[in-house]
Amino acid sequence: MKNRVSEFRKKLGFSQDRLADRLGVSRQTIISIEKGKYNPSLPLAMIIAELFDTSVENVFILEDDDYK
């Protein structure tokens, strides 16, 4: 799954630390999400999208391989 977390985070002017604090997760979690090494739980994905004032589908994009 691809994501646009870094793009939205930068638009808000948030550092990875600040985003992590706002979400109640570690900076390492944000780094892993942005690199595509970790897919957040649905509740966390929804909170991220709400913080960015957009839909989950606009932040997290399924790729064809995700269906296999």
> How confident is the model over 1-22, as pLDDT tens digits?
999 999 999 999 999 999 999 9
pLDDT in tens, 23-57: 999 999 999 999 999 999 999 999 999 999 999 99
Closest CA to 37 of 28, 45, 46: 28
Q: Are 23 and 47 in contact, with CB atoms under 8 Å apart?
A: yes
Closest CA to 34 of 13, 19, 53: 19
Helix, strand, coil content of the chain in percent (nearest 5)? 60, 5, 30
DSSP conformation class of 68: -
pTM of the model: 0.90
| Count of C-beta atoms within a 10 Å radius of residue 37 | 8
